[in-house]
């Protein structure tokens, strides 16, 4: 089997872009799914999209970034674990749920989205 090329592709989450997600997923080594921890109104959609996306990828590792954790009204990772029903996605895959923030203030912290991104890109770049 040919090795999968290692690329970091970022896809937006708007509805018109979701149709392209499965195409990228078939080539992916890991799915990084960013959730807005404040936006309760779209959590159900996030859960449905995530579960539909992974239905045919039982072994694809999953990293869920619980973003906007700097906000006082953010759901905790424990709450997001429940809301996204992540326990039903584990099974054979590696699954991580990490609290993150994409603010400039948090840029040098371990929870910075950029920090997590650069860590993943470094890991995926290794032969």
Ligand X SMILES: Nc1nc2c(ncn2[C@@H]2O[C@H](COP(=O)(O)OP(=O)(O)OP(=O)(O)O)[C@@H](O)[C@H]2O)c(=O)[nH]1
Strands (E), the chain: 31-36, 62-67, 95-99
Distance (Å, whole) CA 65 – CA 77: 9
Q: How near is the Cβ of 91 to ligand X at its closest, in Å? A: 28
On whether 67 is known to bind a ligand per the annotation, the reply is yes
Distance (Å, whole) CA 48 – CA 13: 13
| Residue 103 contacts ligand X per CB under 6 A | yes
13 vs 61, which CB is nearer to ligand X?
A: 13
Of 35, 47, 66, 67, the one binding ligand X (CB under 6 A) is: 67
Question: Which whole-number Å values give the CA distances from 90 to 6, 13, 96, in the listed order?
Answer: 23, 22, 9
Q: What is the DSSP string of 59-77?
A: T--EEEEEE-TTSTTPPPH
Let me know: does 86 contact 64? Beta carbons within 8 Å. Answer: yes
Q: How near is the Cβ of 102 to ligand X at its closest, in Å? A: 4
| Residue 71 contacts ligand X per CB under 6 A | yes
Length of the chain: 127
| Residue 68 contacts ligand X per CB under 6 A | yes
Q: How near is the Cβ of 90 to ligand X at its closest, in Å? A: 25
| Residue 112 contacts ligand X per CB under 6 A | no
| Residue 36 contacts ligand X per CB under 6 A | yes
Q: Which residues here bind ligand X, judged by CB under 6 A?
A: 13, 36, 67-68, 70-71, 101-103
Q: Residues comprising the binding site for GTP?
A: 13, 67-70
């Amino acid at each position: 089997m040919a090795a999968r090329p290692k690329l970091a592709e970022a896809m937006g989450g708007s509805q018109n872009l979701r149709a392209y997600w499965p195409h990228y997923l078939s080539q992916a080594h890991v799915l990084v799914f960013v959730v807005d921890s404040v936006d309760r109104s779209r959590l159900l959609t996030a859960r449905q999209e995530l579960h539909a996306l992974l239905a045919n990828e039982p072994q694809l590792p999953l990293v869920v970034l619980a973003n906007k954790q700097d906000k006082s009204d953010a759901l905790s990772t424990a709450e997001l674990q429940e809301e996204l029903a992540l326990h039903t996605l584990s099974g054979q895959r590696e699954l991580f749920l990490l609290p993150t923030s994409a603010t400039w203030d948090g840029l040098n912290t371990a929870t910075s989205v950029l920090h997590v991104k650069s860590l993943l890109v470094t890991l995926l770049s290794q032969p």
